[in-house]
Structure 1
Amino acid sequence: MKFHAEFDVQKLAMPIHHQHKIMLIGSCFTENIGEKLINAGFRVHQNPNGILFNPVSVAEAIINIISKKEYTPADLFFLNESWHSWQFHSRFSGVTADEATEKMNASIVNAHQFLQTADYLIVTLGSAWVYTLTAEAANAKPGTVAANNHKAPAAWFQKKLMDTTQVITVLGTMLDRLGAFNKNIKVIFTISPVRHLREGVINNNRSKAALISAVHYLVEQLPQLYYFPAYELVIDDLRDYRFYAEDLVHPNHAATEYVWTKLKEACMTAETIDLIEQIEEIQIARRHVSSNPKSQQHQTFLRKYATLTQQLLKVHPYLPLHHVLDYFTNTIND
């Protein structure tokens, strides 16, 4: 008896391997997959503006990274005892304007350098609903799309649903700039399976439909684009509330693991997956906390994984595991 409707996921034409550099941008589901990639030993840079949900904010973030936009205190606004930007998540806010701009500009510079030589950009879109600023909003042009509301008053925003054509236009402009900036980069689009129920069930589905239609149109036009069906895997394959957290909005650990498994199968070779398993074993060992760290048993454990890490780095020197090796070697009692 079948309890879920599995479907074949189209293979990525040029599979991802550990020598590739991967940038991720978009919704909170981006960070779930980003952490999986980091733990699996990939060189990753994720969400340089923080979590972003709508296509306009994602596109603006990429374009500002490409142009290496420099933020000044004049770009910020003060609310609830902190300085914020309408284009950044609140994790980049600061008690002073200088503190906030320093964090934002450092993130832009790092992302610019990484994106310039990145092999893949994974874009996860969450919602086609955008919140534009009204005349009452602090330090902003009316009509500007806010990436984050920063708990500002509701009167500062007006919401509207982007249609498919608008999404195509916004993302298409971003892709043109990206292709001119990095001619070798390939883009993987996904739609977040997180349900934006603040807009209501019907409006959430309207939003996802606009995103899916727009992305598929672009994928059909441009050969360097690929669609990975994270949304469909949770909504149509698993299709059960037991794969959601208690809020019935966010996919739970089991759902994320399932999507991660499908991503590996579709976008990586068997050799890469085997290497991931070796790296994940080392990462688990790195996180192990011994009740008796000076015991002979634990010291043997550390030596074993120091040796395994050294052997892996000898064969794959590009792996970002040198800090893990340092941990094992520095913790061994000579």
Structure 2
Amino acid sequence: MELQTKISLKPSHNPIDYQSKLVLLGSCFVENMGAKLDYFKFRQVQNPFGILFHPLAIENLIQRAIAGQTYQQEEIFEQDGIWRCFDAHSDLRSASSKELLHLLNQRLKDTKTALETSSHIIITLGTAWVYEHSASGRTVANCHKVPQKRFTKKLLSVTEIESSLQNVIALVQRLNPKAQMIFTISPVRHIKDGFVENQRSKSHLFAALHQTINGHGGSYFPSYELMMDELRDYRFYKEDMVHPNPLAVDYVWERFKSVWISGNASVVMDEVDTLQKGLLHRPFNPDSEAHQKFKTSLRAKITYLQERFPFMKFE
């Protein structure tokens, strides 16, 4: 008896291993999968401008990073004693305008370097709803709780999204033609926009993304479909009934791993997992001989792993 509708997935011909360098940009799926990749010590750069929910914000970051178009004083603003930028998440802020500009422009440099050297670029789209800043006419990545009357809310058309995604692919291909691009759509529903409005938003993303992939390349991973069809039960959601809970994240990660993580990486992942659990171990008696031996063994295993993979860092 089958109690689940399963999505057929095939392993990639260009999987991720410990030689790979990843760039992850976009919405919450990036954060969830990025945390897993970080745990297993894969090399990655994740959301240098913080979470970016819509395709225009992702395109803007990639375009500015590649062009070296640095941020200037007039592109940031002060609110309640804190300097912010509409192109970045609220995590990127500073009490000093000079410090914020330095941070933004350093992150642009880091993004370009990561894109140039990446083997895989994972982009997750969250919503087609955007906010245009009335005074400047620019579409923002984050409103930073500035009063909504200063913005105009807009639903991007399929054509606008498709054009943005085509620009992203073209920019990356010119900079790094060997990079494997992986697209997905966040399973998180933006119900603050409204239930019907969320469905309209996701449908625009789906239509534009698949048209773009069919015409310009790239791969698609069905994170949205996995949540909606394989995990269609509220026991897989957090208390807000919107975000996937840890069990769901683990499930989607296993499905992602079956497609995009090389089988050859599994042995190393098991070694890393053993070390991570060892580092989290809290002994009853820290001064005991047994624990001292455990610590010595753990340090030896870390050293052995780092000799093979010098980029791995353990705390």
| Long gaps (5+) in structure 1 | 136-140, 328-334
Q: Deviations over 1:150-180 (max 9, x none)?
A: 0100101111111211111011012111111
TM-score by length of 1: 0.90
What does residue 237 of structure 1 align with? 230
Cα distance in 1 for residues equivalent to 2:102 and 2:204 = 36
Aligned pairs (5 A) from 1:284-303: 284-303=277-296
| Long gaps (5+) in structure 2 | none
What does residue 119 of structure 1 align with? 119
Matched, 1:280 2:273: yes
CA contact under 8 A between 1:123 and 1:188: conserved in structure 2? yes
Residue 45 of structure 1 aligns to a residue in which SS? strand
Matched, 1:86 2:80: no
What does residue 260 of structure 1 align with? 253
Cα distance in 1 for residues equivalent to 2:236 and 2:309 = 38
CA contact under 8 A between 2:158 and 2:207: conserved in structure 1? yes
Give the C-alpha shift of residue 101 in structure 1. 1.1
Of residues 42-51 and 210-219 in structure 1, the stretch that sits farther from structure 2 once superposed is 210-219
Residue 90 of structure 1 aligns to a residue in which SS? coil
What does residue 332 of structure 1 align with? none
Give the C-alpha shift of residue 2 in structure 1. 3.3
Give the C-alpha shift of residue 278 in structure 1. 1.7
Cα distance in 1 for residues equivalent to 2:285 and 2:67 = 52
Aligned pairs (5 A) from 1:199-210: 199-210=193-204
What does residue 178 of structure 2 align with? 184
Give the C-alpha shift of residue 85 in structure 1. 0.7
Q: Deviations over 1:3-46 (max 9, x none)?
A: 32112123322111110000101012211110100111200100
Give the C-alpha shift of residue 275 in structure 1. 2.0
TM-score by length of 2: 0.95
CA contact under 8 A between 1:22 and 1:118: conserved in structure 2? yes
Cα distance in 1 for residues equivalent to 2:205 and 2:270 = 34
CA contact under 8 A between 1:71 and 1:101: conserved in structure 2? yes
What does residue 191 of structure 2 align with? 197
Match of 1:264, as an amino acid? K
Q: Deviations over 1:61-92 (max 9, x none)?
A: 11112122221222111222211111011111
Cα distance in 2 for residues equivalent to 1:36 and 1:167 = 29
Match of 1:300, as an amino acid? K
Q: Deviations over 1:184-225 (max 9, x none)?
A: 1111001001110011111111111111121112222234x1
Cα distance in 1 for residues equivalent to 2:99 and 2:306 = 38
Give the C-alpha shift of residue 306 in structure 1. 2.0
Q: Deviations over 1:276-300 (max 9, x none)?
A: 1221111121233334333212211
Which of 205, 209, 213 pairs up with 1:219? Answer: 213
Closer/same/farther in 2, CA of residues 241 and 113 from structure 1, 3 Å limit: same
CA contact under 8 A between 1:22 and 1:122: conserved in structure 2? yes
Residue 91 of structure 2 aligns to a residue in which SS? helix
Matched, 1:163 2:147: no
CA contact under 8 A between 1:12 and 1:226: conserved in structure 2? no
The aligned length equals 315
Cα distance in 2 for residues equivalent to 1:217 and 1:201 = 25
Aligned pairs (5 A) from 1:125-164: 125-135=125-135, 141-142=136-137, 144-164=138-158
Cα distance in 1 for residues equivalent to 2:291 and 2:200 = 55
Cα distance in 1 for residues equivalent to 2:247 and 2:309 = 32
Match of 1:94, as an amino acid? S
Residue 92 of structure 1 aligns to a residue in which SS? coil
CA contact under 8 A between 2:62 and 2:111: conserved in structure 1? no
Residue 299 of structure 2 aligns to a residue in which SS? helix
Matched, 1:317 2:305: no
Report sequence identity in percent.
34
Residue 159 of structure 2 aligns to a residue in which SS? helix
Match of 1:171, as an amino acid? L
Cα distance in 2 for residues equivalent to 1:101 and 1:294 = 48
CA contact under 8 A between 1:23 and 1:44: conserved in structure 2? yes
Cα distance in 2 for residues equivalent to 1:167 and 1:303 = 54
Give the C-alpha shift of residue 57 in structure 1. 0.4
What does residue 35 of structure 2 align with? 35
Of residues 77-86 and 304-313 in structure 1, the stretch that sits farther from structure 2 once superposed is 304-313
CA contact under 8 A between 2:166 and 2:216: conserved in structure 1? no
What does residue 249 of structure 1 align with? 242
Cα distance in 1 for residues equivalent to 2:152 and 2:228 = 29
